[in-house]
Amino acid sequence: MEQLSGELKKAVPKNKVKKKETNDICTNCGLCCYLPDGSPCKWLRWKEDGKSFCEVYETRLGRYLGQGFYCEDIMKVVTLYKDCPYNELKMEKAIKDNE
């Protein structure tokens, strides 16, 4: 699991956007579905084409993942993941919210 660090990671506040906006840009890479120790969420699954999916997607939010973590909406997670389209959306939203 590769995460970006530094000032960008710290600068992005937690934001809310419309669910449709966020679901439309997901590439199903699965990077956001790993715990800090690098272990995958127990509901993370992989398709034959290499794309990931959540086995309990519709009821995932708020589920306990272990190690003191719960599943959250990607737009509430401050971490930026390598090549993730959510990074740009989070930054745009952060700039707009701080204007």
* Residue-wise pLDDT tens digits, 34-84: 988 999 999 999 999 999 999 999 999 999 988 888 999 888 887 788 888
Task: Evaluate whether 26 touches 84 at the Cβ level (below 8 Å).
Answer: no
Instruction: Specify the pLDDT at position 90.
Output: 83
End-to-end CA distance of the chain: 33
Non-local CB neighbours of 95 within 8 Å, separated by 6+ positions:
none
* pTM of the shown model: 0.65
Note whether 80 and 87 are within 8 A (CB): yes
